[in-house]
Chains A and B, each alone.
Chain A
Amino acid sequence: SAVISQKPSRDICQRGTSLTIQCQVDSQVTMMFWYRQQPGQSLTLIATANQGSEATYESGFVIDKFPISRPNLTFSTLTVSNMSPEDSSIYLCSVGRRSGQETQYFGPGTRLLVL
């Protein structure tokens, strides 16, 4: 399995500001994903981060609110823009080596609290 790190591990932010979360993998991976886990809830896929092209967003998530970058096969960022208290969640990135078969491994998560 890949070693995945996320920065920051946690943050407390003021409403109206933006936070960029980084996800770094120790080896090249085909698939990278961003998930949100609201307090006491399950995980919901935000988007698939595509290397060299725009991310693919799930229903209910838009690029203006959650811009994503993926400049190479080992790194991605997720920005939570114009934050409100409803954005308080754990944000997790996950990776998979190829589409359709491989297990997804998750980073340690970023705990975000918006005041």
Chain B
Amino acid sequence: AQKVTQAQTEISVVEKEDVTLDCVYETRDTTYYLFWYKQPPSGELVFLIRRNSFDEQNEISGRYSWNFQKSTSSFNFTITASQVVDSAVYFCALSEAGEAAGNKLTFGGGTRVLVKP
């Protein structure tokens, strides 16, 4: 069975500080997909990134960057120079590939990020 663990339940930072969110996953499949979603106070879930298991390149998008380490089963997320608008709950998720898996997403417990001005 697949499992996603986000050990940090809440992180509080002051604006302009960097913040790194940890995500560790478990799966028996060799082909799988990893995701990060953002849930602001309004409640909607905003897609941030998808990474497949064969692509270990790290990615940067503006102030966001992701570090995928297959050897340690981790997919960590860093927000550089945080802003108040980054305050939200961030979820890491995993889905196994293939028709049998049915696109089911398994979510981590989420990390609440509070950015103070």
Contacts and interface: CB of A to CB of B under 8 A. Distances in A.
Chain B residues touching A, majority SS: loop
B70 interface: no
A102 interface: yes
B98 A42 contact: no
Contacts of B109: 41-42
Interface string B19-57: 000000000000001010100001111110010000000
Interface in A61-109: 90, 92, 94, 96, 99-109
Nearest to B44: A108
A108 B39 CA distance: 10
Interface stretch (B61-69, B76-84, B99-107): B99-107
28 contacts: A31-B102, A33-B105, A42-B91, A42-B108, A42-B109, A43-B45, A43-B105, A43-B107, A45-B104, A45-B105, A48-B103, A48-B104, A90-B43, A92-B45, A96-B103, A99-B98, A99-B99, A99-B103, A101-B33, A103-B35, A103-B50, A104-B35, A104-B47, A104-B103, A107-B44, A108-B43, A108-B44, A109-B43
